[in-house]
Chain A
Amino acid sequence: MKGAEVISKLSTILNGEELIVSSNGNVSRQVYHLLQGDQIYLRGSMGLPVSIGLGLALAQPNRTVLVITGDGNFLMGLSAMTTVAHVQPTNLKIIIIDNELYATTGGQDTVSSTIDYITMIQGMGIDTARSFNMSDDEILISEMLKDTILEPGLNVLHLKVEEDTIVLDNIPHHPTKIKDNFMSRFS
């Protein structure tokens, strides 16, 4: 299964009230085009989606906050996960879409292939981390996504995926418009 297909699957699981932070590059484009709602589509700030999600989860404790990040982005901001583990925000869910590539910049390797994500994330103090290797078992992937979003508590799901073959269009909004659209959800 490809990254964009995983993100598409989320559309049948989300209720539209979730607050989503997506990592810059292809992941944000996929979240913009494939999921509903005005979300926080990051354009730059590589490495920061987890920390932005943490701040958002603290400010909005009654809403589910979902961070969707690629592996290169996740690894750049890895230490933010230790802060997340320290805080244990129960409304924060993190999905790592891992294609082992810097796909947006042309498919250069990340170091992701050597990492045991479960051991690493559990070692930080997040017991609920799950990891799943690339597969086409659509029912199992849907169940894992559902559990990650709907089960109470801080949940982290690491998914190995195949490289996407289609690059979606750029997000048409200026970042200030992205921000204004997102914040108008609270008014």
Chain B
Amino acid sequence: MIMIDSADFLSYLSDNDFTFSTGVPCSYFRNLLLALEKDDRFTYLPATREDEAIGIATGYFLGGGRTFLIMQNSGLANIGDAITSLTQLYKIPLLIFVSYRGLEPDKDFPEHSIMGDVTKPVLDAYQIPYWVIKETNWKVVLDNALEVMEELSKPVCILVKKGVLSE
């Protein structure tokens, strides 16, 4: 399987004026995070919790900056109040990359199974537009997601399956 090249991915984000990132790691983003931490075009700040990362990104936006976030879908459960009473309420645009755990490749990891089942319903319930990216269409999907993020001034989510950004 061909993965998205992390260098291409980060160049795309840099070209779209992102200089700052925060979040909580997932192994699905291992390659990307390794590249991100070495890349002088970005500052990556590791947060202790996903809702904290939403708070940091919101503050960064209010100060005039742009943030992309990285988290596992388990983090979607942690960000409920931050999304509903902060980013949706104040209309804060954020680009959130979320690993789509709990699908077939995670069949031996039952801890992800229920969140895998409810990931899309949770995003629908939070009223967050979302897309699933593939190696073949990621630039077109991200162009569209960023357009929606700007137009609606709200968070958007990109779901990333196993093998798309890291083995």
Q: Is the CB of B63 within 8 A of A59?
A: yes
Per-position contact with A for B53-88: 1 when CB-CB < 8 Å, else 0? 111111111111101000000000000011011100
Residues of B within 8 A of A16 (CB): none
Is residue A165 contacting chain B, with contact meaning CB distance below 8 A?
Answer: no
Q: How many chain B residues touch A (Cβ–Cβ < 8 Å)?
A: 33
Known contacts A21-B59, A83-B45; A44 and B86 CB within 8 A of each other: yes
Contact A176 B59, beta carbon cutoff 8 Å: no
B82's closest neighbor in chain A, by CB?
A: A45
Contact, CB under 8 Å: B85 / A79: no
CA distance A48 to B49 in the complex (A): 11
The reply to whether A45 and B52 form a contact with Cβ atoms under 8 Å apart is no
Contact of A178 with B52 in the complex, beta carbons under 8 Å? no
What is the CB-to-nearest-CB distance from A49 to chain B, in angstroms, rounded to a whole number?
8
Give A18-58 as 1s and 0s: 1 = Cβ < 8 Å from B's Cβ atoms: 01010000000000000000001011111111111111111
Q: With contacts A79-B49, A80-B55, A83-B52 known, is A52 near B62, CB below 8 A? A: yes
| Chain A residues with a Cβ closer than 8 Å to the other chain, count | 35
A77 to chain B, nearest CB (A): 7
A176–B85 CB distance below 8 A: no
Shortest distance in angstroms between A56's beta carbon and chain B's nearest beta carbon? 4
- Complex contacts, B20 vs chain A, CB 8 Å: 58-59
Q: What are the residues of chain B within 8 A of A53 when measuring CB–CB? A: 59
Q: For residue A49, which residue of chain B has the nearest CB?
A: B55
Task: Say how far A22's CB is from chain B's closest CB, in angstroms.
Answer: 13
Beta-carbon contact of A54 and B59 below 8 Å: yes
Residue among A19, A47, A56, A176 making CB contact with B91, cutoff 8 Å: A176
Q: Does A107 contact B (CB under 8 A)?
A: no
Q: Which residues from A are CB-within-8-Å of B89?
A: 43-44, 175-176
Contact A179 B91 (CB under 8 A): yes
Chain B residues with Cβ under 8 A from A82's Cβ? 48
Q: In the bound complex, how far is the Cα of B47 from the Cα of A123, in angstroms?
A: 18
A87 CA to B48 CA in the complex, in Å? 13
Is A12 in contact with chain B by the CB < 8 A criterion? no
Contact B90 A178 (CB under 8 A): yes
Residue of B whose beta carbon sits closest to that of A47: B51
Contact B48 A80 (CB under 8 A): yes
How far, in Å, is A105 (CB) from chain B's closest CB? 15
In the complex the two chains form, what is the Cα distance from A44 to B53 in whole Å? 16
Return B37 CB to nearest CB of chain A, in Å: 14
- The answer to whether B60 touches A43, judged by C-beta atoms less than 8 angstroms apart, is no
Q: Once the chains bind, are B64 and A77 in contact (CB under 8 Å)?
A: no
In chain A, what residue has the closest Cβ to B67? A55
B residues with a Cβ closer than 8 A to A are: 20, 22, 43, 45-49, 51-65, 67, 81-82, 84-86, 89-92
**Given known contacts A43-B89, A52-B58, A83-B47, what 16 new A-B pairs fall within 8 Å (CB)?**
A44-B84, A47-B81, A51-B51, A51-B56, A52-B56, A52-B59, A52-B62, A55-B63, A57-B59, A58-B45, A58-B60, A59-B62, A59-B63, A83-B56, A176-B89, A186-B63
Can you list 19 A-B contacts (CB < 8 A)? A19-B63, A21-B59, A43-B85, A44-B84, A45-B81, A48-B58, A48-B86, A52-B56, A52-B62, A52-B86, A58-B43, A59-B20, A59-B61, A79-B48, A80-B49, A83-B46, A83-B56, A179-B92, A186-B63
